[in-house]
Amino acid sequence: MNASNTNITTASIMSTDGPVSFNQFEIRSPFEILLETAPHVITIDRVVTPIWNIIGFIGNTISAKIWLSRKVCKSNSSAVYFGSLAIVETLYLILHVIYELHVAWGYNTYHRQVSCEIFNFLLLTPQYMRQLSTLYKHPFNKGILR
């Protein structure tokens, strides 16, 4: 099979048993596929995400400090909730930076035998912590448990 008979998704290689057909995307990482098929997406991700992460780190730190101060906690019943929400969001941003190093920059940050499963669990945990804290704070308010 010559080069003119191949298409984008399949290719063939010569082996001792003859030509062997394979999917060319099976041997590439998602980062390599995106870099080849949509390089502008990688560039946008590399520029926009760090800006939002920096804004998030600064804003969540300031929010946690304000909401968890003694004066605000005593005068506002929701202060502890908003302060813990800022801390959970900061934890999520830290984990998201590790995820972005893998997706947008191509570093193997968590691809070991067990670390991939643990990392994905930790990445999803803050998102559920937000929802559970809302449910715990106001279980029958505004139709949450109808």
Instruction: Please check whether residue 35 is in contact with residue 46, taking contact to mean a CB–CB distance below 8 angstroms.
Output: no
Give the chain's largest Cα–Cα span.
Answer: 78
pLDDT tens, residue by residue, 70-129: 899 888 878 888 888 898 889 889 988 988 888 888 788 877 778 888 888 888 887 777
**Whether the predicted model's global pTM rises above the 0.75 cut:** no
What ranges do the domains of the chain cover? 1-32, 38-137
Instruction: Please give the distance of CA 32 from its chain centroid, rounded to a whole number.
Output: 18
